[in-house]
Structure 1
Amino acid sequence: MPLSVSLSFPAGRFHATAWGHHVNEALPEWPPSPWRFLRALVAVWKQKVPHLNRQLVEGVLSELVKTQPAFKLPPATLGHTRHYMPTHDKPTKVFDAFVSLAHDAEVVFHWTDVNLTDGQQTLALLLSQLGYFGRAESWCAARLLSEFDAKRINCLPGSAAVGQESVRVLTASPTTWNEWAFKDKKIVRPDPPWNLLAETADLHLERWSDPPGSKWVSYARPADAFAPQRAGKKEASMRSFTRTFTVARYALDAIVLPLVSETLPLAELARTAVLCHFDLLHPRRNEEDQPPHSEALSGKTALKEHRKSHDHAYYLPTDEDGDGRIDHLTIWAEMGFKAAEELAALDALRWLPRGDDNDWLLAHQVCRQIREARRQRGGAPKSGLRLLLVGLGRCEDFRSPLFKASQIWVSATPFLASRFPKERGTRKDSGEFLGRDNAKAFARHVLEEDIQRWRLRCLNNPHPIAIPEPDSVTFLDGDRMGAHQLRPIQFKRFRKRKGDNGAQRSAGGFRIVFPESVSGPICLGYSSHFGMGQFVPEKPTQPDS
C-alpha cells in the first residue's frame, strides 16, 4: 500500500549540507535524502522514545528502504548567511546555506508500495517526536498523510527529462544498512551496530568518502526547483499551518533582568510588542483594506470584543532559576497559533524596549521604538531586553514548571480577585467576605469560584479534560510566594491602561491541593493573561540535616 510522510518547516528554512560536499560550497541538500530521514527516525527513537522495541523500529526501517521514495517538492529558493567561526589561529568565514520555503509548505516523501500494517503506529509516533530535520536550526513538523494525490509528485528516481535536472541523492542499501562494516578498533560501536548510525569521524578513520550501507541514486527534480516565485495576490484570510503550536518559549537576556515583582508590566510589554510586529508584517495597502486579525495573540474578536473562553494567549514571565529575576517568557494559547502570520510575529519578537531609566513604556512608545529598530535593520539595540526564541511546540514538549503535573500547586504570582464584593442584590456575598478586614477571605472565595469555572472550561474543550475537585485551597504561610518570599503588595498589579484597578482588588498567595496530579498551566484570576495568578508545582521541602 502507498505511504506518504509530510515534513514542514515553521521557520521557513531547511539547513542540511549535501553528502559529499563541504559546508562552504553552499550546496544544501534538495530533496532531503532518505538516508538522512532514516537517521533522524533512529535519533528520535534513541533520544525520545527508547522504550520502543528494537524489532518494531527495525521492521519499519526495513520496509522503508526496500524501495526509493518519490517527492513532492514545494516552491523554494536558495539562501545563505556568512559568519565567522572562532578557530585556534583566526576566525574563519563560514557559509551557512539553506533552502528557503514557505512556513506552511510541505515536503512529501511518497512510497508507492510499503507493508506497514504492524508498524504504522510506530512510524507515526516517531514522526510526532521529530523536532528538527537536518541541522538543529531546521525546526520541523512531521506527520503521516492519510491521503495524497500521487499526481503532485515532481521529483522521481531516474533520468532527467526536458524541464528537469539530475541530482544525486543518498539512500540506504536494503541489504547492508543494518550491518556493521567498520574494522578500526578506535571506532565506538553504536547500539544497535548499524552502518546507518556511523558518524563522519568514523568514515575519516576508515578513509571512506561514503557511508557503508548507503548508495547513490539519481533523481530528476524540476529544473526551476530554486527559481524565485512571483508573489501572488495576498489572500484575505491568513494561511493556516499544518501543525498547531500552542507554546512559544523565550529566554531573556539583559544587563539587569527585571524583578519578579515586575511580571505584569513585562507581560503587557510582550503582548504589545507581538501585536506591533503582527501589524508591521501586514501593513494596510489602502484605507479600505482590513489587515488580518489574530484572536489568539490579542484575545479580542475582529469586532474588538473580549474573548470569554480564555483560550487565547497568556503572556507568562517566569523566574526559573530562583534568583528573583525574570529569565523566561512563555506565550501559551490553548486555541493554538494556527496561522503562519502569527508564527512570524512570534519569531520576530527578539527585543523589548525599555525607557531611559529602565521604566516601562506606553503602548505607542513601544511600537515607535520597534518600528525604528526594524527600519535600522541592525539587530536588537543593546538597551532593553533581548529575547531568544528557544522553542515552538505544545505543552508536553517543554520542561518548564508551568507545564508539569503535580498534586499541590502554589502561587508564583499573586492571585487577583476577578470581581469585587457584592454588598446588595440577590447574589450578594456573605458578610464573612465583606469589608476590608475580610479581603483575604474574599480572595480565597473568588479563587474557589474561578477554579470551578476553569474545571468547567476544561470539560467543554474540544479535547475534554476532567479536573478533579480540589481537596483544599489555603493561604500560603505569611502570604509570601516565590524563592524570595514576596508579598502580594510588592508586585506591580496594575496595567498601563486608563481605569485599570488591579491594585485595588483583593489579592493573596494560595496553595491548591488536588486528590491526584493535575497538569499545568494553571493561571487564574484578574490579569491572569498578563502573568498574575500563576501557579507552579510546590517543591518538596528539604529535610533538616
Structure 2
Amino acid sequence: MTVLLAFRFLAGRYHATPFGHHVNEGLIEWPPSPWRLLRALISVGYTSGLWDGADPPDVGRNLIEKLSCRLPCYYLPDTVGTHSRHYMPTAKFDSGKEKTTLVFDTWARVKDENQELVVIWRDVTLEGTELSMLSDLVERLNYLGRSESWVEGRVMKDGEIIPEINCFAEPHEEIPDRNWEQVALLASEDAETYKAWRAACLENELAHLPLPAGKKKSSRKLLRDRERVEETYPVDLLDCLQKDTTWLRSHGWSPPPGSRRIFYWRRSDAISISARKIRVVARPKQQVVQAMLLSLTNASRNDHALPQVIRTLPQAELLHRALISIAEKVAGKVPQELTGRDETGKPLQGAHEHAHINPLDLDSDGHLDHVLVWATSGLGITAQEAIRAARKTFTKEGIEPLRLALAATGDFQDLAKMIDEYGRNRYGRHLARLAKRALNWQSVTPFVPPRYIKMRGKNCLEGQIRTELSRRGFPNPASITILAPQTQCQSVSPERGTGDENGMTTWHRHFRHFKLARQRGPQPPLNCWFAVRLEFESPVGGPIAIGYGSHFGLGLFKHCGGDEA
C-alpha cells in the first residue's frame, strides 16, 4: 500500500531550520524531514482535540509507529531560497537605549503556489480506521515548519496521478548524476529497533548502579539515581517524538533519542537562487492631490516627548527645509509648490496656492502628533515623492529624530470626510473641522498681522484680515471678531493644568508662549498675536490659513459651532 500526503503552501513560503543548525546560518530544511512530519501529526492530534491530553489512542499510536517504519520519498515543487533580516529587541538597555540583535529569517518561496509538496510512504499497510485518522490529522494541520508556513493538507485518493519523485533516501538503486545533491534529514528509528536499543542502554548504565543482593533494602539515593537513568530514555518511540528542546538539554541529549540522520538525494536546483518571476503591474499614474497627512512619533512612543504646540512654527520650518532637500535628491529640482518661487527665484504671485505646512495636535494633549501639508493648487508628483520619502525631522533639544509616516492623501473633500475615516471622537473630528464647509470659523493657532497695524484703512487689523482672505479667494466675511485675551476658550491640554475643571482656559494662556518669528526668513512686523472669529454669509470650505507665517502653521482656523454644511 502507498500512502500519499499532499501539502499546498497557502502563503507560498516554507520556513524551517534543519535540526542542529542555528537560524542565522540561513539554512532551509527542504524537504520537511520525516521527524518533523511525524511530530506535526502528533501535535495536531492534541491541539485539534482528536486525542486527549493524556496519551494518543491506540489507532493514533499504531499509525505513527507504522509510518516511522518506512522512509518517505518526496515530490518537491520548484522553490527559490530567500531571507529577511531583522534587528530584534532584546529587552536589555544600555545608556537608556534598548539593545538589538540581528536575526535572519530564511525560507523557501514556492514559485507556483498551486504546486503541492507530495510525501510518499511506500509499503505501508494501514487499517481503515488508521487511514481515516491520518486523513483527519492532515486536514487539520495549519502549518508545517514554523508558524508562518501555512499549509492545506490532504491524503491523496486512489487513482490520482503520482508526480515524479525528485527526492529520495540513500541508498538508491541508481546512482544520481552531478545534477543531484545530498542533504541530511532527521528521521525516526522504527519502534522495535528503539525498544531494543533502549533496553541495551539501560542494562549497561544500570549495571553501574546494582541493587543490593538478598533482602537488603536499597537506599533512597540508589533508587533515585536508577530512576534518573530510566528517565533519560523515553519509554517508547512515541514518547521520543514528543520531547521538546528543554527536556533534551536537561537530560544531556544533542540529537533526540530514537532519531537518526538519513542522507536524501534531491536535485541541485531544488532551492534555486535565481530571482522569482515577478508579475509586473503597471503603477497607476499619480495624480495631483491637495493634501497629505503625516503622522509624527518618536522612538520611545511617548506622546508627551513630542514637540509642544507652541513650537508649531519652528517644526514647520524644519520639515520644510527637509522636504526641499529631499526633492533636490529625488528629482534634481524643487517644485514651485514647495518653494513658493518661480524658476527665476521670485516669489509666486497670486492666491497663496503653494504648500502650507501645518503641524497639528489632533489628540488635544498639547503636543504635535501630525503634520498636514496642503496646497490649494495641488501637490505635484515631485512634491508628493518628497513628502512620501520624508522619514524623520528634528526638534529643539531632541535626543533622537522624530519619525514621520504617511497617514493619508487626498483632496479637501476627503479631508472633510475624515471624521468617518480616521476616528469620530478625536483625530477625525479635528481634521474635519479644518476643511468642512461652515459659516463660523475660529483661530486654532495665533493670527500674526503681515503688516504694521494702522488705526484705520486697509492696514487696520480688520482690513488686513479681509485682505488676506480676499487674496486666498475667500468671500468677504460678514463679521470679524477679535477675541479679547481674557475670553475663555477650550484648553488645548486640559490635563496639563492650563484650564479649569471643565477644560476651559483663556486665549492669553492658550497662545502666549507660541513662537511667532521664523528662524530663517522675514520677521513679523509686530511681535504680537490675535485670536479671531470669522462669520461668513454662506458656508465656505477650508482649510483657512492667513497672516504672517500662514505657510508654516500660524493663522490656521477651524469651524466652530454646529453650522457646518
TM score, norm. by length of structure 2: 0.40
The structure with the largest alpha-carbon Rg is 2
